[in-house]
Amino acid sequence: MIEGNIGDLGAGLAIALGSLGPGLGIGWLASKAMESLGRNPEAARPIQQNMILAIAFTEAIAIYALVVAIIIKFVN
């Protein structure tokens, strides 16, 4: 029999699925940044700036998923 609370399962799914997209997005973003640096090394500064900014926005989505998982876990 399954023991525990369904909220635990919901919290686990929220963080698992909520971090899947940002993880894939950051990997794809870094891959494309390295590809563009290989093609045009002189543009390293603007590419790096845009990459760091985009990674910060993408990581914010994972932080939102963490907050939702904590709310599901500890509320009620």
pLDDT in tens, 24-76: 999 999 999 999 999 999 999 999 999 999 999 999 999 999 999 999 888 86
Neighbours of 60 (CB within 10 A): 11
In a domain, 4, yes or no: no
Please say if the pLDDT value at position 4 is more than 90. no
Torsion of CA 43, 37, 33, 53, to 10 degrees: -30
Q: How many domains does the chain have?
A: 1
Q: What percent of the chain has pLDDT over 90?
A: 74
Tell me which residue range forms the domain holding 44: 28-76
Structure tokens at 48: 């790096």
Query: Helix (H, G, I), strand (E, B), or coil: what is residue 5?
Result: coil
75 belongs to a structural domain: yes
CB 12 within 8 A of CB 73: no
Task: Decide if 46 is inside a domain.
Answer: yes
Q: Is residue 10 one of the residues assigned to a domain?
A: no
pLDDT digit string (tens) for 8-31? 888 889 999 999 999 999 999 999
pTM of the model: 0.77
CATH at 50: 1.20.20.10
